[in-house]
Amino acid sequence: MTAELTDPAVAGFVAAVNAGDKEAFFAALTDDATMSDDGTDRDLREWTEREIFSSNGRMDVEEVSTDGRTLTATYTNSTWGSMRTRWVFTVTGGRISRFETGQA
């Protein structure tokens, strides 16, 4: 069951991940966006290529916070299989300026 995404920037991010659409993914982010994985800042382009695009990453969103910017999702890719993850987004000017993810 997929929870309803209420923040347009976050919805665009999830849709781009699930479609494997790099162009839409990076369009959802600010030019200077940053990210962290399990509390460690990572190189966004390197991490997304490895963890999302070249490994067929997919998000099945289970829960959404009331502001629409914190998600719990089952994240699946061909490297790690499926795991329950938490995603926290900072949205600036309608685009994501930072996201933090890790195991939930």
Q: Where are the domains of the chain?
A: 8-103
In angstroms, what is the C-alpha Rg of the chain?
12
CATH architecture of 8-103: Roll (3.10)
Whole-structure pTM over 0.75, yes or no? Answer: yes
53-78 pLDDT, tens digit per residue, is: 999 999 999 999 999 999 999 999 99
User: Is residue 26 classed exposed, middle or buried when 0-12, 13-18 and 19+ CB atoms within 10 A define those classes?
Assistant: middle
Count other Cβ atoms within 10 Å, centred on residue 23.
Answer: 8
pLDDT single digits (tens) 77-102: 999 999 999 999 999 999 999 999 99
